Structure 1
Amino acid sequence: MLLKIILLFMLAMFLVAIVGRVLFPSALPPVLRKRKGAPRCGKCGRYLIGRGGCDCGGRAK
């Protein structure tokens, strides 16, 4: 009996999590969000490597 209660509770929590992800996808932490591609500089378009900024310094051609 206790096993049934535990399984029903876990199933309910699973359903709540699925509904929450469908309704509020932006509520996920940034670490868990999927990136659409590699990070690029907004000014010149070069790929960004590491945590530093781009070498163009925002002065793109």
Structure 2
Amino acid sequence: MLFKIILVFLGLMALIALIGRALFPSALPRVLRKNSKAPVCAKCGRYLIGRKICDCGGKAK
């Protein structure tokens, strides 16, 4: 009985995770997103490597 409860709980957690990823894809870290292009600065157009904010002060697209 306890084994069934644990399996149902884990199944529900996996279902919630799948729904959350489908509804809020922008909440994922940049590494896990499935964009085909590299992130670039919206202000100057330079590629961003390892940071969310560019040296010019602009933010990633």
TM-score (norm 2): 0.58
- Residue 59 (structure 1) aligns with: none
| Structure 2 counterpart of 1:19, one-letter code | I
Point out the structure with max Rg over C-alpha: 1
Q: 1:33-60: CA deviations, max 9, x gaps?
A: 12313567x37xxxx7xx5xxxxxxxxx
How many aligned residue pairs are there? 45
User: TM-score, normalized by length of structure 1?
Assistant: 0.58
CA distance in 2 between counterparts of 1:13 and 1:37 reads: 31
SS of the residue corresponding to residue 12 of structure 2 reads helix
Q: Structure 2 CA distance, aligned partners of 1:13 and 1:32?
A: 19
Alpha-carbon distance in 2 for matches of 1:30, 1:39: 9
Runs in 1 of length 4+ with deviation above 3 angstroms? 37-40
**CA separation in 2, counterparts of 1:20 and 1:39?**
23
Q: How does 1:21-60 map to 2 (within 5 A)?
A: 21-37=21-37, 42=45, 51=49
Deviation at 1:3, TM superposition (A): 0.6
User: For the aligned residues, what is the CA RMSD?
Assistant: 2.4
Residue ranges of structure 2 left out of the alignment (5+ in a row): 50-61
Q: What's the % identity of the aligned pairs?
A: 59
